[in-house]
Amino acid sequence: MRKLMLIMGIVLLATVGCSDNDAFEKAKKQGDLALENKEYDRAVASFELALKEKKDDREVKLKMNQASKMVEALKESDVDRAIVLLREIENNPTNSVIAKQAKEKREVLVNQKDEEEKYKKMLAKVEDLKNQQKFMEVKEQLNVIIRETQGKEQFKVYYRNANEQITQSVPKMIDEDKRKDGNLKEENKNEEKPKGEEPKKESVITGQKAEYISKLNSIDESLKKLDYLYEKGITTEMKEGEGKRYEAWDKALNEIYAVLKKQLPTGEMNALREKQREWITYRDQKAEKAWNESGQGTLSGLATISSKANSTRERCYQLVEQYMK
């Protein structure tokens, strides 16, 4: 009887031991899977469960520490501090997956920091150009900032700054500058113009061009309502946002093209048709390059449509500024 009880006790201990080990392995496996999917909060929770079963497991402790640092880095608003945390993960590669992810994220943040410095310098240059009353150069500089930062959450502050200037203060400055220049030219014309000469309808032509520039700026402004689709970094939502951006700019491009058909002489319009065909080829090649550079994975569709949206937006401004009268 005593022998039987001993055997049963050993079996029971073995069963409990197996159960504990199964729970440990399951939690550890779930943690590793969460790391691969970049679900770092979930990875931390899974590794904590595993450590409840085996509190001294060194590998799981290190993985949990790395995952916790990744969570902290992603929430960190100070870019320099986030880069330091990511470098720590990268330099202690307990897990090659998270070390690679940390390196990729660090490189993104370093590039982001460099880009921010570039936009700060560009905005400083804008102020210098304003002081020099070089308003057309101001406009060009701001348009570059808008094109490069649109739809990018991390550069939203620079996009809004440039967009507010180009839709509010800059047009007033340009109009005032043109008015002064126009008054001077009109005075000179009045001195030389024979009586009875009909004035040219220059103001009507300029007005239509200005109307479409204003319309394009309004489209830019209205698309801000899509910002919420980029806040969580969810691919499907960002893809929806880029799709709507592309649709809006493509519609504007078709409208501009229809106006130019009425405005331009036959020879100029035929030349523009040829250039438009070349531009379509360029747009598609650029989109294909974006597809390849994004790894041809889940983000490739987003990169492709984003590239087309940006190219189409640039083309809209280009046609209005270069061809519309």
Instruction: Please report the pLDDT score of residue 251 as a whole number.
Output: 93
Domain presence at residue 40: yes
If asked whether residues 241 and 324 sit together in one domain, one would say yes
Using CA atoms, how far residue 152 sits from 120, 234, 238, in Å, is: 16, 13, 10
What DSSP letter does each residue of 178-237 carry, written as one string? HHHHHHHHHHHHHHHPPTTPPPP-HHHHHHHHHHHHHHHHHHHHHGGGGGGGTTT--HHH
Residue whose token pair is 């959450």: 153
Instruction: Please report the pLDDT score of residue 15 as a whole number.
Output: 44
Domain presence at residue 255: yes
Last residue of a domain, one of 44, 70, 102: 102
If asked whether residues 95 and 133 sit together in one domain, one would say no
CA distance 44 to 46: 5
Using CA atoms, how far residue 239 sits from 28, 224, 305, in Å, is: 34, 15, 8
Instruction: Please report the pLDDT score of residue 189 as a whole number.
Output: 57
Instruction: Please report the pLDDT score of residue 11 as a whole number.
Output: 39
Domain presence at residue 314: yes
Last residue of a domain, one of 156, 186, 216: 186
If asked whether residues 86 and 137 sit together in one domain, one would say no
CB 252 within 8 A of CB 316: yes
If asked whether residues 182 and 232 sit together in one domain, one would say no
CA distance 9 to 15: 10
Instruction: Please report the pLDDT score of residue 187 as a whole number.
Output: 55
pLDDT in tens, 75-92: 888 888 989 988 888 887
Structure tokens that stand for 293 in this block = 């550079």
Domain presence at residue 196: no
Residue whose token pair is 């994220």: 105
- 74 DSSP 8-state letter: H
If asked whether residues 164 and 233 sit together in one domain, one would say no
Domain presence at residue 124: yes
Note the Cα 270 to chain centre separation in Å. 36
Instruction: Please report the pLDDT score of residue 34 as a whole number.
Output: 87
Domain presence at residue 43: yes
Instruction: Please report the pLDDT score of residue 162 as a whole number.
Output: 83
CB 290 within 8 A of CB 307: yes
Instruction: Please report the pLDDT score of residue 19 as a whole number.
Output: 56
Q: Which residues of the chain have pLDDT under 70?
A: 1-20, 93-94, 169-207, 231, 233, 294-300
If asked whether residues 128 and 86 sit together in one domain, one would say no
CA distance 280 to 200: 36
Helix axes 96-131, 2-36, angle to 10 degrees: 30
How many other β-carbons are positioned within 10 Å of the β-carbon of residue 290?
A: 20
CB 208 within 8 A of CB 271: no
If asked whether residues 77 and 47 sit together in one domain, one would say yes
If asked whether residues 63 and 150 sit together in one domain, one would say no
Domain presence at residue 48: yes
If asked whether residues 234 and 305 sit together in one domain, one would say yes
275: domain CATH number is: 1.20.1270
CB 226 within 8 A of CB 245: yes
If asked whether residues 237 and 298 sit together in one domain, one would say yes
Q: What range defines the domain where residue 159 resides? A: 110-186
**What is the tally of structural domains in the chain?**
3
Residue whose token pair is 């199964």: 22
Instruction: Please report the pLDDT score of residue 98 as a whole number.
Output: 86
If asked whether residues 325 and 235 sit together in one domain, one would say yes
CB 70 within 8 A of CB 40: yes
pLDDT in tens, 25-77: 898 899 889 888 989 999 889 989 988 888 888 888 888 888 888 899 898 88
Last residue of a domain, one of 130, 154, 186: 186
If asked whether residues 151 and 122 sit together in one domain, one would say yes
Instruction: Please report the pLDDT score of residue 199 as a whole number.
Output: 46
Domain presence at residue 88: yes
CA distance 325 to 322: 9
Instruction: Please report the pLDDT score of residue 312 as a whole number.
Output: 93
Q: What is the pTM of this model?
A: 0.43
Residue type, 206: T
CA distance 215 to 259: 14
